[in-house]
A and B are shown apart, each in its own frame.
Chain A
């Protein structure tokens, strides 16, 4: 059934794009899965270059994109769900789009796959793809209205790594104790990444943490350095389990407003990674990509070159030039991620008052529950804002949160995203910079609008 599924899916993709129905990533996957429920397994297993799955709460898209760029820089053809469609349907759409009209993937024997996969889809994806490696980036509270509790994700991941064969590799964030604990649950080879440079630790502690107790003995963790949320140099007070010394480690980080240099120690030697992205969270994304690239025998030179020229995924520190203003879009998904975004933004602007457009939607992909904004430390922007426009389907909730964070001066509410963008742009001085902080569906909408104003392509065409 592979060939008919591939053809039908391609036709559906074509039709959906012709009709202007968005990126056409959902329908083709649906069609392919309907005709051949095991389409992902059939096609993914023909790949000789290895398949890598990237999962975790934050950093999936950026990490997968970095890894893809590194592998392509070495001449490896890579299949990649670049549009970020990361459920089984998205994977089905990705593999069928990569297949030729004979139903086969061209050059399959040397082609690799880099697949971003939703946290809760991991067991199904692992069974279908039989990946050579899985990267687990981190685990934070996120979309609890969809996932239930954080602990339910941990349970799914544990089951998934338990069935991996010894020939597979799990690539784990050593600094996130929930992720690092997976090394005790698998027969697969374990490779860890983390930040050794304790100078990157945040001055103040954030409020919640989503990993407090050891999965093995139940005792509480303690930290000698804490970078953000529960990520840092941890140790269990009970059984003494502790952060493993990472195989791929950031030994030094030099950061500036819109980039950083990360000195990375790897089993294959040292790398100097120059990243055109700010934020410690992006250093972690790069470490994960470097670790996975090493497993697939990428050379340090190839890795450095690819990351130096890396361009952000849509809406992730992407900068557009609109009406004479620099518009920087910073996707906001969950409190741990947004805290990182805010701190990076504040550090980058070093004291200058900032112009902000904050868009809160409550669609299924955003999380219908908007209570998470109360876990974000918007207070770090107190006294730093020149303008804040709150927008989205829950604009008033957003504005209210900002009011209670002490940002009520020059705070405006404008429900409609296009109107809000227009207002924010006109209030930002020419030559200045506007930061746009949208939730996921808001990002798609605002990015589309801004890109049209800037004369850029739409996200799925990238």
Chain B
């Protein structure tokens, strides 16, 4: 049965896209487009189900979960509804379902988000971390990022007012080489719990980090079809060029910041 992977056309995945109409600020749609295309190139059927406020959410139906970023106002809008879906999402993550939460989505996947005005938005506690916002006038963390991940790098753009602090023992997704990451202080970027990943990187994230995109797909496929599943390699030369140009932009900004400091 070693050639279990020779019939990729039979693979199908269902992705839950949380609040696509609200959490879509920084081209997060690109992540979905990328997963869709990378599946299509391999004959894998990817069905994207959009889940909004008030929609029922049964995680047993899904192989992947995605949530993008939004403004504080949108986050406040969905925070309560996300609480209702929280137990189901936590159960899915505990069961090994891959999930990706970007920027505002990442903040709400943590324990809590303390807004500038003292108000605190509850998160769903997938990642043992909390986010603090210094209030109006606190500079935002804005710029290109290059961070070490799994023997390579992740690149993207970050733009967040809140600073996220991981609890002791929590696992960061990556180590910042250039940029701010979680908080600009401790060199961590994002968080990992089981197969769930939180990150501040948009840009969009997945198009120019094809290895990470495939990592998510492979986790989802293996969970569903067994460990023998492999992915057909794709021609990622353009993806690599985009990756390299984002990394170069991050390094330039880093050098400029150093000179300025």
> Which residues of A approach B to under 8 Å, CB–CB?
141, 144-145, 148-151, 207-209, 212-213, 362, 368-375, 393-397, 399-401, 403-405, 413
Question: What is the minimal beta-carbon distance from A358 to any residue of chain B, in angstroms?
Answer: 14
> B161 contacts which of A145, A148, A375 (Cβ < 8 Å)?
A148
- Chain B 196-238, CB-CB to A under 8 Å as 1, else 0, gives 0000001110011000000000000000000000000000001
The answer to whether A374 and B245 touch (CB under 8 A), given A144-B159, A145-B159, A151-B71, is: no
CB-based contact A371/B238 at 8 Å: no
| Closest chain B residue to A367, Cβ basis | B157
CB-based contact A374/B25 at 8 Å: no
Stretch at the interface among B26-34, B55-63, B82-90, B113-121: B26-34
> Which residues of B approach A to under 8 Å, CB–CB?
21-22, 24-30, 33-34, 37, 71-73, 77, 140, 142-144, 157, 159, 161, 202-204, 207-208, 238-239, 241-242, 244-246, 249, 253
CB-based contact A207/B25 at 8 Å: no
CB-based contact A369/B238 at 8 Å: no
Cα A207 to Cα B73 in complex, Å, equals: 18
Cα A394 to Cα B253 in complex, Å, equals: 15
Residues on B with C-beta less than 8 A from A405 are: 33
The answer to whether A148 and B33 touch (CB under 8 A), given A371-B157, A374-B27, A397-B245, is: no
Mind listing 19 A-B residue pairs with CB under 8 Å? Answer: A141-B25, A144-B159, A145-B157, A151-B73, A212-B22, A213-B77, A368-B143, A368-B249, A371-B157, A372-B27, A374-B27, A375-B24, A375-B27, A393-B245, A394-B242, A394-B246, A397-B242, A401-B207, A404-B33
CB-based contact B142/A145 at 8 Å: yes
> B207 contacts which of A150, A375, A394, A400 (Cβ < 8 Å)?
A400
Cα A152 to Cα B89 in complex, Å, equals: 32
Residues on A with C-beta less than 8 A from B140 are: 148
For B29, B140, B143, the residue with the greatest tally of chain A CB atoms inside 10 Å of its CB is: B29
If A208-B29, A394-B246, A404-B37 are given as contacts, then 20 extra A-B residue pairs at C-beta distance below 8 Å, sorted by A number, are A148-B161, A150-B71, A208-B24, A212-B21, A213-B77, A368-B143, A369-B26, A369-B142, A369-B157, A371-B26, A374-B33, A393-B245, A394-B242, A394-B245, A396-B238, A396-B245, A399-B238, A400-B239, A413-B238, A413-B241
Residues on A with C-beta less than 8 A from B203 are: 369-371
Question: What is the minimal beta-carbon distance from B51 to any residue of chain A, in angstroms?
Answer: 16
Closest 9 CB pairs of A and B: A374-B30, A374-B27, A371-B27, A396-B241, A396-B242, A149-B71, A369-B157, A400-B242, A371-B26
Cα A379 to Cα B80 in complex, Å, equals: 35
| Closest chain A residue to B71, Cβ basis | A149
CB-based contact B157/A404 at 8 Å: no
